[in-house]
Amino acid sequence: MTLQNVSPEKVGLSTERLARLMAVLQREVADQRLPGAVAVVARHGKLALMDSVGQLNPRTGEAMHNDARFRIYSMTKPIVSVAAMMLVEQGRLLLADPVAKYLPEFAQQNVVMNGEATELQPVLRAATVHDLLRHTAGLTYEFLGSGPVQRQYAQLRLGSRDRSLADFTQQLAALPLMYQPGQVFEYSRATDVLGRVIEVISAQPLQQFLQEQLFEPLRMPDTAFTVPPEFHDHIAEPFARDPDGGLQMKVIDVRTDATLASGGGGLISTAKDYARFLQFLLNRGELDGVRLLGPRTVDFMTTDHLGDIPVAPGGSRALLPAGHGFGLGFAVRKHLGVAPVPGSVGTYFWGGLAGTSFFVDPALDLFACLMLQAPNQREYYRMLFRDMVYAALLD
């Protein structure tokens, strides 16, 4: 049985310094900048920390607890990326396959020229599954800027959860691309498209595929696209108003079934469930005797796949810190220095729009996960958490 609780010192971590981490989070709660949080730190397959602070729901005042359910937004992407690589290992999918092989609506796409939606040119080459996984398919997100393509995304309400994945990809494919496929890293709705590719290949709804192929084998019972009614009182909520006075971000309603199963940002999970997923990754594709990916496939996913491909200016550049590249679903650290947070070369990580985040450091056999719902403060807490976890290491 993995992820048993042990004394932090037994796995090279400091009890005192992990307590300091929780005290700092508690201070943020007392200052009313953070509603509540669950923190997880594990090393050598053992839990050194799983603890909670603050409130589950600021409106009711209920205390946060370790079984709380969080909107993980883009922490959905690594899960869906693993699902796609399972199909690769089964011989049902090639990374070099054009997206249009599975989704014909993506054939014969066009790209905007000179930033003008009225000036289009054909793609130089078709976007591939590889492009979807590493966000080089020429797609974008409407909230990353105000260019003509992003405005069209917003006008069509591509973030709506009221359409099916099939309808979503049909509408998305009809829009021009922002960049030529393979030429620029632009964080995007590519993983939503990847979810639809999985549906077509498996002949199953994405929800069903993930449930049967990942969540049940990895024993992640509380991870899904909707929270069942009997657990509605376990849902973590943000403040009603942004504590820093910014524009309050509206979080998705996870109490009712959404038509769209967003592979890029639709899952809800718990600290316990996501910790099992991270231990599975740290074990290079295996957990509790269940192997879903080969170790070399996990290595392949968690190395840089951008090479010399530039990062788009604006929002995408802000998401990928200095010294990092991007793999197949994860940002990957390439240099010991350069970045503003500590980490070993080969550390990989990602986070979610509402504030959840994780990192995995294979060199130190370490992972950590912070679950919270504080959208506008997320960058601050990601860096704070990373700094304090590394400070707790004794070797």
Element (H, E) at 268: strand 268-269
Task: Check if the beta carbon of residue 177 is closer than 8 Å to that of residue 138.
Answer: yes
pLDDT at 247 over 90: no
202 by DSSP, 3-state: which? helix
The whole-number average pLDDT for the span 304-314 is 95
pLDDT at 1 over 80: no
pLDDT at 118 over 80: no
pLDDT band at 3 (very low <50, low <70, confident <90, very high): confident
The whole-number average pLDDT for the span 217-237 is 97
Give Cα separations from 387 to 39, 130, 342, 378 (angstroms): 14, 32, 6, 14
The whole-number average pLDDT for the span 241-251 is 90
pLDDT at 317: 86
Residue 349's φ and ψ, nearest 5 degrees, are -160, 170
Partners of 353 in beta bridges: none
pLDDT band at 178 (very low <50, low <70, confident <90, very high): very high
The whole-number average pLDDT for the span 249-253 is 92
Residue 12 DSSP symbol:
T
- pLDDT of 332-371, one tens digit each? 999 999 999 999 999 999 999 999 999 999 999 999 999 9
Q: What predicted TM-score, i.e. pTM, was given to this entire model? A: 0.97
Give the separation between CA 279 and CA 49, rounded to whole angstroms: 14
Closest CA to 329 of 147, 64, 95, 37: 95
Task: Check if the beta carbon of residue 372 is closer than 8 Å to that of residue 1.
Answer: no
Residue 36's φ and ψ, nearest 5 degrees, are 180, 170
Element (H, E) at 173: helix 165-173
- pLDDT of 12-51, one tens digit each? 999 999 999 999 999 999 999 999 999 999 999 999 999 9
pLDDT at 2: 64
The H-assigned helical ranges of 174-263 are: 190-202, 206-210
pLDDT at 117 over 70: no
pLDDT band at 164 (very low <50, low <70, confident <90, very high): very high
More confident call, 115 vs 242: 242
Q: For residue 203, with 0-12 CB atoms within 10 Å meaning exposed, 13-18 middle and 19 or more buried, which class applies?
A: exposed
More confident call, 71 vs 2: 71
Write b or e for each residue in 2-37: b if 16 or more Cβ atoms lie within 10 A of its Cβ, otherwise e. bbeebebeebbbbeebbeebbeebeebbeeebbbbb
301 by DSSP, 3-state: which? helix
Mean pLDDT of the chain: 96
**Is the Cα torsion angle 82, 84, 90, 96 positive or negative in sign?**
negative
